[in-house]
Amino acid sequence: MTAQSVDGALCARIECISKSYGGVKAVENLSLGFQAGSVHALVGENGAGKSTIVKMLTGVVTPDSGTMYLDEQPVRISDPVQARRLGIAAMYQDPTVFLDQSVEENIFAGRHPRNAIRLVAWGELRRQVTSYLRDLNVDFTPETTVRALGVADRQLVEIAKALSSNAKLIIMDEPTAALSPNEVNKLFGIVRTLRASGKAIIFISHRLNEVKDIADTISVLRDGRLIETRASDDMTTDDMITLMVGRELKSERRRTTGVVGEEALRVDGLTRLGAFADVSFAVHKGEILGISGFVGAGRSEVARVIFGLDQPDAGSLWIDGKPFRPRSPRQALARGLAYAPEDRLTLGLVQTMSVATNIGSSIIPRNAAWGFLGHGKERKLAQAFIKRLGIRTFSPTVATNTLSGGNQQKVMLSKWLAADPQILILDEPTHGVDVRTKAEVHNIVIDLASQGLAIVLITSELPELLGLSDRVVVMHEGRITGRFDRSEATEERVTNASAGLVG
């Protein structure tokens, strides 16, 4: 298959590229072209080959076969430094920045302009950074420490870094995953400006509505192959889903209110200074309580305190009507409470350990005898969850970081379900997963509630929130600004409460 034809000049293209890992074909005989002054979206399920394409274009991995071209000249990109010199820059959903350095130091990290005696030319550096920040219309200065910036502004630092390297091809991999709607709109405004200036942009996202909003061209990948490329105007979100999964996907299952039992968890006046204040709610057995709010509203911080990762400054917790003050996650687990965090890569799982070891990590004492871990018990437990949750893996002994993001999410769920909790806090459980896996996770959550678990669902996805929750609590800047029963919760009401527009 050859690269698709385009009306303008191709900034970059890949021709008949293939890449395998241990016999598994991540990308197979794939050809694509990326046009200057255009936004080209890549969509597909986890494991479709999107990340492998990015890694090959940025020199992280080398293709097994095929050719890459820049400005119609064949190139062999051996490492990320060479990719940057060739004009290729990438930004990811988790910005790769140095938190304790300034904005200007991050933008020119490793390539500071020098004066005649080879010292850093700080005046010239600051002049250039000021110009880039002015073009991006930001409200922070070159001297600002990156740690003081929010996720959205850190993404803008990454864009400024790309501009400073005179990048011709800018790759954006899930750049909106942690952004609020207003921040997404601001980012898209900048993307359109970059497009107008002649940059070629590769945009990767699981949020298909956003893809439709920003992309000129959409390519759908499946199992490492290019399935189809069309102009964005000629492809609907339903078309994308059908091409991604190879069939028409059934409508997402919606929660129908089941039998709600006794109160399982009560939070009363919970406060952690600088994070949230006076947070109160209750969740019952068999109930799904949704917690919504924009990034930075304090939702995850509340979950961390409930699970004993952080300590409160005021307020009280009750489990099954009895007071509870968790000093550690171990104590929380002992009381039947589990927490699956949003950041599965660093907080939820040990990536280099096996699937079986990760699943069994919440109940190590149960699988041990006389101080020795029973690997047979661990693998048997893992096999049961692999079957129960449909985890796609060759074996429970493979390293977790070899799985797709959606399957890693299922491993993390299995880890906490193995502890047999009565209360389960899920923080962005479908963050960064594809449409098929999202539907599977939704089914799991609904089934767990029907089995009597009390579930606290923290999510930024409004369809997910409204489709699964029995009741909704909305937070804004650390405080609850809205409470809605299922029949009262609408996108407009939740969005207004998330923005602090109450009354």
Residues 475 and 502 in one domain: yes
Tell me the CATH number at 58.
3.40.50.300
Predicted local confidence at residue 3, as pLDDT? 40
Residues 279 and 320 in one domain: yes
230 is a domain residue: yes
Residues 360 and 215 in one domain: no
462 is a domain residue: yes
Give the side-chain half-sphere CA count within 13 A for 5. 1
207/266: higher pLDDT: 266
1 is a domain residue: no
Residues 257 and 398 in one domain: no
Query: pLDDT class for 40, splitting at 50, 70, 90?
Result: very high
For the residues 74-79, what does the mean pLDDT come to? 92
Tell which residue, 470, 428, 465, 433, has the closest CA to residue 450.
470
Q: Which residues have a Cβ under 8 Å from the Cβ of 164 and sit 6 or more positions away?
A: 107, 108, 128, 129, 132
pLDDT over threshold 50, residue 229: yes
Domain stop point among 194, 217, 245: 245
Residues 394 and 456 in one domain: no
84 is a domain residue: yes
Q: CA–CA separation, 187 vs 33, rounded Å?
A: 24
Residues 105 and 206 in one domain: yes
Query: pLDDT class for 2, splitting at 50, 70, 90?
Result: very low
Residues 155 and 292 in one domain: no
* Cβ atoms 161, 89 nearer than 8 A: yes
Give the side-chain half-sphere CA count within 13 A for 263. 12
Residues 256 and 391 in one domain: no
* Cβ atoms 293, 500 nearer than 8 A: no
96 is a domain residue: yes
pLDDT over threshold 80, residue 456: yes
2 is a domain residue: no
Predicted local confidence at residue 341, as pLDDT? 87
Helices 405-417 and 375-389, axial angle in degrees (round to 10): 120
What is the 3 state secondary structure string of 52-78? HHHHHHCCCCCCCEEEEEECCEEECCC
Give the chain's domain count: 3
Q: CA–CA separation, 381 vs 377, rounded Å?
A: 6
Q: CA–CA separation, 146 vs 143, rounded Å?
A: 9
Domain stop point among 222, 245, 268: 245
For the residues 127-146, what does the mean pLDDT come to? 88
Residues 155 and 110 in one domain: yes
Q: CA–CA separation, 374 vs 356, rounded Å?
A: 11
Q: Look up the pTM and report it.
A: 0.68
344 is a domain residue: no
Range of the domain at 22: 10-245
161 is a domain residue: yes
Q: For residue 233, give the H/E element and its range.
A: none
Least confident span in 148-157, 173-182, 321-330, 414-423:
173-182
Q: CA–CA separation, 346 vs 353, rounded Å?
A: 12
Q: For residue 270, give the H/E element and its range.
A: strand 263-272
Residues 80 and 164 in one domain: yes
